[in-house]
């Protein structure tokens, strides 16, 4: 969720209600003309808009273009940020903050981030794929509570491995018992101090 860094003075916020689907809550427009945010990603056939056609296999066009738009089906609030070429791992959050008029978002986020340790380096799963169990490894620069969870490909939590257990600084490895899991794709997550990292694995 975006944080109102401007005290609500200038931000443009959509009309959303929460809808439950398959046990998870998702936002949806409150009505057919409700204000909503649209984020569009497009693989750009032109390299950074320089007019040079990119050649090669279909889908081999990077970086992406990202558009953030407001829409309400009545064009009352509709407007669009200029498409910006971004690499796949570039966060769209600053674009959203700019679009919604959160003038102090960046400084507020920076202040929050300063108090959060840069945790969870060296996050690895092994072996991948696994048959009955696998290890979750990570490195902590400071001590703190860590939560390790496992989700299936539908986004449903299937196992809590550790729930807020305090770990000391340094390298750690946790064994996950997956013997009772069905064959398929799973996502392991590690959370500490507001940071969450995840990796996929496969149960054979």
- State which of 53, 79, 113 marks the end of a domain: 113
74-87: average pLDDT = 45
Domain that residue 64 falls in: 16-113
Lowest average pLDDT, out of 40-44, 98-102, 134-138, 195-199, goes to 40-44
170 and 81 in a common domain = no
pLDDT at 175: 94
Residue 11 lies in a domain: no
**108 backbone dihedrals φ, ψ, rounded to 5°:** -65, -45
Are 143 and 63 contained in the same domain? no
Looking at residues 51-59, what average pLDDT do you find? 46
Same domain, 22 and 93: yes
Mean pLDDT score, 115-141:
79
Query: Is the per-residue pLDDT at 53 higher than 60?
Result: no
Q: What percent of the chain has pLDDT over 70?
A: 48
Q: Are 204 and 183 in contact (CB under 8 A)?
A: yes
* Res 162: pLDDT: 94
Q: What percent of the chain has pLDDT over 90?
A: 21
Interval 168-191 mean pLDDT:
91
Is the pLDDT reported for residue 17 higher than 90? no
Question: For the chain, what is the domain count?
Answer: 2
Q: What pLDDT was estimated at residue 22?
A: 77
What is the pLDDT averaged over residues 159-188?
A: 92
What predicted TM-score, i.e. pTM, was given to this entire model? 0.45
What's the Cα-to-Cα distance from 181 to each of 22, 54, 147, 189, rounded to whole Å?
Answer: 19, 44, 20, 16
* Residue 1 maps to a domain: no
Give the CATH number for residue 142: 2.60.40.1930
Strand order, beta sheet including 121-126:
121-126, 133-140, 170-177
Same-domain pairing of 60 and 133: no
C-alpha–C-alpha distance, residues 122 and 173, integer Å? 11
Q: Bridge partners of 41?
A: 66
Of 93, 113, 133, the position where a domain reaches its end is 113
Three-state DSSP string of 35-95: CEEEEEEEECCECCCCCCECCCCCCCCCCEEEEEEEECCCCCCCEECCCEEECCCCCCHHH
Give yes or no: residues 109 and 143 share one domain: no
């Amino acid at each position: 969720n975006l944080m109102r860094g401007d005290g609500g003075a200038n931000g443009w916020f959509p009309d959303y209600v929460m809808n439950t689907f398959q046990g998870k809550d998702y936002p949806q427009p409150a009505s057919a003309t409700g204000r909503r945010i649209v984020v569009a990603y497009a693989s750009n056939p032109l390299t950074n808009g320089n007019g040079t056609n990119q050649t090669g296999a279909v889908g081999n066009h990077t970086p992406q273009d990202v558009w953030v738009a407001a829409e309400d089906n009545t064009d009352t609030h509709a407007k669009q940020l200029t498409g910006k070429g971004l690499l796949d791992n570039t966060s769209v959050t600053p674009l959203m903050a700019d679009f919604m008029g959160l003038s102090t978002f960046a400084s507020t986020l920076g202040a929050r981030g300063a108090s959060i340790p840069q945790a969870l380096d060296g996050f690895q799963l092994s072996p991948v794929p696994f048959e009955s169990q696998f290890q979750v490894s990570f490195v902590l620069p400071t001590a703190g509570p860590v939560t390790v969870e496992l989700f299936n490909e539908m986004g449903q939590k299937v196992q809590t491995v550790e729930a807020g257990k305090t770990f000391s600084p340094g390298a750690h490895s946790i064994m996950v018992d997956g013997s009772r899991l069905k064959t398929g794709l799973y996502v392991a997550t590690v959370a500490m101090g507001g940071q969450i990292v995840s990796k996929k694995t496969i149960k054979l």
